[in-house]
Structures are given as structure tokens and as C-alpha cells.
């Protein structure tokens, strides 16, 4: 499987869409953080505000599923789905004599890595750089660093569950456009579930899903029980979705 991971890495490094996303996110992130830091954009009521890190308020934009889905689904469409449609490159991979489950896992790992870099790492790094450049570096004291480490650690676990969902979608649809559109519809539905009044059993399911955890993990204080629950929700989601994905991919006929 190491071979497959290396091959996927090689492909990601040469994927135009990935670089366009990186540049766009870097530019956008720098702009948003700058606007917040100079006080032009007054954001209030964010988790970072509550943690006393209002200088990092722009980061909350990148943790909203409706927003980060645009990045993740675009990458899924143009890094994963495109291999099934336009060029049929997936054929070569399946013919190469590697197990389909290994092909699936290698693709999932590198796709998730790309999505984490674009959606989490770049906004965080640009935020930290701008904090120092604008003379706010002192807010990153030990307790705040622990908060950021804990929040983003948990957030990444939930985020991997989300990339697994979008990854399966990309494999099922075989088409970049469909992947992006269906994932947008999916996040809108999840947003509606969050905002609208729903039957109790749906609310229970939602509150035990990664979508609820996307905001929960940024709470300034979390009990040990809440942290364990969050980790379990994330890991169980990743395992279930990945197993479903391997099952689907193992039975998928390549056109």
C-alpha cells in the first residue's frame, strides 16, 4: 500500500485544482484575518470570542460545513471523481494488481491530507503569521495554545469523518460536477437539521454526529467525558463510513 500512497501523493502534488485551492484559501484566509485584526470586520459570538481569542475570529469561517464543503467537494471532484470519468485513469490502478481496499485507503488518506492542508492548516498558519505580523503574537500563550491544540485535534477527527463521506460520494457519482452539487445539497440539509425544529429522534442523531461536533469541539471548556464522546463519534464515523466505502468500491464496476 506504500506504493499506492506514494503514487497518490505524486498525483496530488501535480493536481492543478489542489494548487488553485491552496492559493485561493491562502489569499482568502489572509484577507479575512487581516480584516478582523484591523477591526474592519467585527465578528461576534464565535467560539474563539468566548475563548478570548477574538483576533482569530476569522478561523470560525473555515469551520462552517457550508463553507469548507466548497473546498473539500471541489478537491473530491477534481482529484477523485475525475479519475472515474473523463480519463478513466482508475482503470490502470485497478488493473495494476493492487487490492481494491488498498487503492481505496490510499486515495482516502491522501485526499484527506489534501483537504486538511487546504481547510485547516493554511487558515491556521496564515492566522498565526498575521498575528505576529500585526503585533498580536502574545495572545498565543500556553493556555490558548492548549485550547487550540485540543480543539483542532478533535476537529480533525470529525473532519476526517466528513472527508470520508465526500470521498464515497465522489466514488459513487463518478463525476466532479455531481460530487460538488450533491455535497452542497447534503450540507444544506445538515444545516437545516441544525437550525430547524426536527423530530426528537433526528435531533438525537444529529447531536451525536460529526456535524454537531464541528461546533462543540471549539467550546472553551470541555469535560473529559465530552472529549471522549467527541473522539468516539469521530472515530466511529470514520470506521463505519470507510468500511461502507470499501464495500462499495469492492463491488463497483469500472466503466
Partner 1 sequence: MSEYILRTNKLTKKYKDDFALENVNVSIKKGEIYGFIGQNGAGKSTLLRLVTGLAFPSSGSIELFGNANLNELTDAQKRMGAIIENPALFLNMSAYENLEVHRLQKGIPGNECIPKTLELVGLADTGKKKAKNFSLGMKQRLGLGIALLSDPELLILDEPTNGLDPMGIVELRELIKKLNREKGLTVLISSHILSELHQVATSFGIIHKGKLLEELTAKELDEKCRQHLRIKVDQPSKGAIVLEDTLSTTDFEVMPDGTMKLYHYLDDVRTVSRALTNNGLVIEHLSQNGDSLESYFTKLVGGAEHD
Q: Is 14 in the site for partner 1 (CB under 8 A)?
A: yes
| Window contacting partner 1 (CB under 8 A); options: 64-72, 82-90, 108-116, 233-241 | 82-90
Q: Is 10 in the site for partner 1 (CB under 8 A)?
A: yes
Q: How is 92-124 classified by DSSP, letter by letter?
A: HHHHTT--HHHHHHHHHHHHHHHHHIIIIIHHH
Q: Confirm if 68 and 157 have CB atoms less than 8 A apart.
A: no
Task: Out of 16, 197, 200, 223, point to the residue binding partner 1 (CB under 8 A).
Answer: 16
Task: Out of 20, 23, 66, 94, point to the residue binding partner 1 (CB under 8 A).
Answer: 94
| Window contacting partner 1 (CB under 8 A); options: 3-11, 32-40, 52-60, 157-165 | 3-11
Task: Out of 12, 25, 30, 90, point to the residue binding partner 1 (CB under 8 A).
Answer: 90
Per-position x/- string for 103-122, each x denoting binding to partner 1 as judged by CB under 8 A, each - no binding: --------------------
Q: Is 175 in the site for partner 1 (CB under 8 A)?
A: no
| Window contacting partner 1 (CB under 8 A); options: 13-21, 166-174, 175-183, 233-241 | 13-21
Q: Confirm if 157 and 230 have CB atoms less than 8 A apart.
A: yes
Least distance to partner 1, CB of residue 253, Å: 4
Torsion, CA 184, CA 185, CA 187, CA 192, rounded to 10: 140
Q: How many CA atoms lie within 13 A of 29 on its CB side?
A: 29
Q: How many CB atoms lie within 10 A of CB 32?
A: 22
Distance, in Å, from the CA atom of 18 to the CA atom of 99, rounded to the nearest integer, reads 26
Task: Out of 19, 92, 189, 204, point to the residue binding partner 1 (CB under 8 A).
Answer: 92
Q: Is 95 in the site for partner 1 (CB under 8 A)?
A: yes
Q: H-type helices in the chain, by residue range? A: 2-13, 16-37, 47-50, 65-75, 82-84, 90-95, 100-116, 122-133, 142-173, 176-195, 200-207, 210-216, 224-251
* Residues that bind partner 1 in the complex, under the rule CB under 8 A: 2-4, 6-7, 10-11, 14-16, 86-100, 251, 253-254
Amino acid at each position: 500500500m506504500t506504493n499506492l500512497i506514494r503514487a497518490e501523493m505524486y498525483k496530488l502534488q501535480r493536481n492543478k485544482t489542489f494548487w488553485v485551492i491552496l492559493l485561493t484559501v491562502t489569499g482568502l484566509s489572509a484577507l479575512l484575518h487581516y480584516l478582523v485584526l484591523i477591526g474592519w470586520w467585527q465578528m461576534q459570538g464565535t467560539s474563539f470570542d468566548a475563548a478570548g481569542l477574538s483576533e482569530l475570529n476569522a478561523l470560525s469561517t473555515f469551520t462552517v460545513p457550508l463553507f469548507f464543503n466548497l473546498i473539500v467537494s471541489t478537491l473530491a471532484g477534481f482529484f477523485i471523481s475525475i479519475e472515474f470519468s473523463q480519463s478513466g485513469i482508475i482503470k490502470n490502478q485497478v488493473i495494476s494488481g493492487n487490492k481494491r481496499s488498498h487503492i481505496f485507503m490510499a486515495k482516502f488518506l491522501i485526499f484527506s491530507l489534501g483537504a486538511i492542508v487546504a481547510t485547516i492548516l493554511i487558515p491556521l498558519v496564515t492566522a498565526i503569521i498575521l498575528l505576529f505580523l500585526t503585533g498580536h503574537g502574545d495572545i498565543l500563550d500556553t493556555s490558548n495554545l492548549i485550547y487550540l491544540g485540543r480543539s483542532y485535534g478533535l476537529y480533525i477527527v470529525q473532519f476526517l469523518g466528513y472527508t470520508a463521506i465526500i470521498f464515497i460520494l465522489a466514488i459513487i457519482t463518478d463525476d466532479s460536477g455531481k460530487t460538488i452539487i450533491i455535497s452542497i445539497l447534503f450540507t444544506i440539509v445538515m444545516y437545516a437539521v441544525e437550525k430547524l425544529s426536527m423530530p426528537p429522534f433526528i435531533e438525537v442523531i444529529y447531536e451525536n454526529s460529526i456535524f454537531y461536533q464541528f461546533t462543540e469541539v471549539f467550546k472553551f471548556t470541555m469535560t473529559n467525558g465530552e472529549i471522549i464522546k467527541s473522539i468516539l463519534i469521530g472515530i466511529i464515523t470514520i470506521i463505519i463510513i470507510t468500511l461502507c466505502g470499501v464495500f462499495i468500491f469492492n463491488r463497483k464496476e469500472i466503466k
